[in-house]
Amino acid sequence: MNMSLVEYERRGSVAVLTVNNPPVNAMSPGVPRGICEGIARASRDREVDAVVLVGAGRGFIAGADIRYFSLPWPEGEENFSDVIRAFEDSSKPVVAAIHGHALGGGLEVAMACHYRVVSPGTRVGQPEVKLGFPPGAGGTQRLPRLAGVAAALDMIVTGSPVTAPQAVELGIADSLIEDDFVEGACRFAEQRARSGGPHRLARDLPVNLDDPAIFDAMRGKIARRARGMRAPYACIECVEAAVNLDFDAGIAEERRIFEACVHSDESKALRHVFFAERAAGKIPGIDKSTPLREIASAGVVGAGTMGGGIAMNFANAGIPVTIVERNSEALERGMAVISRNYGASVSRGRMSEEAHDRAMALITPSIAMEDLADADVIIEAVFEEMAVKKAVFAEIDRVARPDAILTSNTSYLNIDDIAAAMPDRHGRVLGTHFFSPANVMRLLEVVRTANVSAENLATVMALARRMGKLPIVAGVCHGFIGNRMLEGYFGEASLMVEEGIAPERIDRVMFEFGMAMGPLAVMDLAGLDIGWSKRKDAGGGTAIERRGSWIANRLCEQGRFGQKTGRGYYIYEKGSRTPTPDAEIDDLMEAARHHFGLGPPDLSDAQILERCLYPLVNIGATILAEGHALRASDIDLVYINGYGFPAWRGGPMHWAGNVGLDRIHEAVCRYHRELGFPQWAPSSLLKELASSSRTFEDHDRDHRHA
């Protein structure tokens, strides 16, 4: 046996098999073999009456080794089926002793044992759907037999884990062991061995279904969220098989469906996202030895929508935060919004009254900048204008501790300029671009200024994770990663409306692709007036009348700023967020075509898609080549978590690999010739990868950061 992966130890009459495959005890090659050999040895050992299977380190088993879904499994090496067969053939009871986590194949291994015990704080679940396939080692057949069909269906389709007490209550686990876990598990195993059995296996339990309508009900429930996806429906079909077929036929059906899903583009994309999220935390110049500063108190300047949301993030993470506004009216308004947001969470049952009171007690409103004097970190979240921000930072500079970390919540501005105004704070100024609503959205662009120290950058990354965010490092450039790319996406959408393609058609194409919302509906949500005032400031006179802004300008002149005024590219009924197409837009499109001398509209849905998405890929490649994103997979995460790009397509850069970079490059060059707008200036990196038949993932592999 490979002693380093599965250790064998005898404790009294119990053989303890310890899976020791750091960091998470995935079922990599060698682990199944180790378990099978341990079971065989225990069955030969006359002194042994029972077996306990346990994980070393932080948890039990985190499932299959996900890397092997795209690698060949070594010839002749044991696998999940061999492990499960070994348990089922064992005459001595096998107890899975689960601490930390048992996920995916980890829970499946546990469910194939005769018994399961859990330690407090453990979570068990079948998260496979998040990787684009249903459980493939019997989970969809055993879980309904242990937990009941409704609970199993819910766990498998959502991928959400349950806690240790829930696992006991549902019948997934037989007992909760409070202390001295492995010893307790051994005592449990001894007792069961002494009882003489029968040691029932999950496969022999009946499947009880009270309400056959739950499957269709589940299909209805997930219809919007699972739009375009296969795996959630595959999960439902597998559980249906548990109800309709006998155990062995159900297992065969699960295997068939699993195999069909695991090689799909959807699964490849979701696996890419899984590893992308882990890679995003790896930053050149920062490693485990980089010291982290303690963040025990925080300050936020600005109690508007963003400032309020940011303050809520601190409070939710248990960090006391002082929120400062210029005057009491603005402060009271901001605090009322915070209170209303928390109140809504309580009334929806997402937050307890106690948690609400705790969070509110952590937020101190103030109109005195001096109240930020003790804060470890201060986030500026005032109006997005350089002069305003610089004035606020001058104030912060006056009061903040010399070692405080200062960040600006900006979506476009040059934070190096802000930092340069405070030379004494060298290394402690950076950007934190939150997404609206800041208390909900998972993405945080952490903008690395020229002089920020590794320690302060690492501290802000860790703080973001403590807030439940997914922090992505971006470089200082106009719009950073997300908004810089968005200019190309919105730009093309606006141009196409001028060419006579109706907003609802563009939005439909993008919604069907899987975007959470179409671009014109998003522009209405964000407010058309923001771009309008920027254009007026920047261009003045006719310069703002270039193509791409002509219709938006006309709309703004009519006071149609989007959702907030009930009209924009669409009409919104009072109190409704549902966009309704507006016949007046047809007239504006006609006028725009006349104004610019354009021919009749002539674009297919496929061309609309290209015009929207290829600029994302092209600009993303430029950002990557400039080093303003560390890796293409970071760009994917930005788009998935901040801009509604479907995770099951893997983000724009991964998706581009499926389309073919040569095809995209060729189209970018063509659009550059025909249309000529800046978003089409071909990226040299896109050209280089296309001509060498490589993908952005190949590029990331070649430039891997430690």
Burial tier of 590 (Cβ tally within 10 Å: 0-12, 13-18, 19+): exposed
Q: What is the pairing mode between strands 101-103 and 115-118?
A: unpaired
Does residue 65 touch ligand CAA according to CB under 6 A? yes
Burial 658-696 (b: 16+ CB within 10 A, else e): eeebeebbebbbebbeeeebebbbbbebbbebbeeeebb
Of residues 257 through 276, those in contact with ligand CAA by CB under 6 A are: 275
Does residue 331 touch ligand CAA according to CB under 6 A? no
Q: What is the CA radius of gyration of the chain?
A: 28
Q: How far is the CB of 238 from ligand CAA (least distance, A)?
A: 11
Interface with ligand CAA (CB under 6 A), residue from 39, 94, 131, 544: 131
Does residue 462 touch ligand CAA according to CB under 6 A? no
**Is 329 labeled as catalytic in the residue annotation?**
no
Q: Which is nearer to ligand CAA, 82 or 384 (CB)?
A: 82
**Is 108 labeled as catalytic in the residue annotation?**
yes
Does residue 278 touch ligand CAA according to CB under 6 A? yes
CB 157 within 8 A of CB 226: no
CB 437 within 8 A of CB 415: no
Q: Which is nearer to ligand CAA, 131 or 470 (CB)?
A: 131
CB 349 within 8 A of CB 326: no
Does residue 653 touch ligand CAA according to CB under 6 A? no
Does residue 253 touch ligand CAA according to CB under 6 A? no
Does residue 64 touch ligand CAA according to CB under 6 A? yes
Q: Which is nearer to ligand CAA, 65 or 499 (CB)?
A: 65
Distance CA 86, CA 91 (A): 10
**How far is residue 385 CA from its own chain's centroid?**
30
Q: How far is the CB of 68 from ligand CAA (least distance, A)?
A: 8
Would you call the peptide bond into 198 cis, given omega within 30 degrees of 0 as the criterion? Answer: yes
Q: Which is nearer to ligand CAA, 38 or 104 (CB)?
A: 104
Query: Which one-letter DSSP state was computed for residue 64?
Result: B
Identify the three-state secondary structure at position 676: coil
Does residue 55 touch ligand CAA according to CB under 6 A? no
Report which of 153, 138, 129 is spatially closest to residue 218, judged by C-alpha positions. 153
Distance CA 523, CA 561 (A): 9
Instruction: Out of 108, 240, 380, 610, pick the active-site residue.
Output: 108
Does residue 161 touch ligand CAA according to CB under 6 A? no
Q: How far is the CB of 451 from ligand CAA (least distance, A)?
A: 28
Query: Which one-letter DSSP state was computed for residue 369?
Result: G
Does residue 105 touch ligand CAA according to CB under 6 A? yes
Identify the three-state secondary structure at position 71: coil
Does residue 156 touch ligand CAA according to CB under 6 A? no
Instruction: Out of 128, 253, 445, 498, pick the active-site residue.
Output: 128
- Give one DSSP letter per residue of 611-641, joined into a string: HHHHHHHHHHHHHHHHTSBS-HHHHHHHHHH
Helix 105-112, helix 80-89: angle, nearest 10: 20
Does residue 127 touch ligand CAA according to CB under 6 A? yes
Residue type at 682? P
Q: Which is nearer to ligand CAA, 135 or 615 (CB)?
A: 135
Does residue 470 touch ligand CAA according to CB under 6 A? no
Does residue 26 touch ligand CAA according to CB under 6 A? yes
Interface with ligand CAA (CB under 6 A), residue from 23, 206, 575, 600: 23
Does residue 128 touch ligand CAA according to CB under 6 A? yes
Q: Please choose, out of 97-105, 504-512, 616-624, 633-641, the segment that lies near ligand CAA by the rule CB under 6 A.
A: 97-105
Distance CA 685, CA 618 (A): 9
For ligand CAA, the binding residues (CB under 6 A) are 23-24, 26, 62-67, 80, 101, 103-105, 108, 127-128, 131, 135-137, 139, 275, 278
Catalytic residue ranges = 108, 128
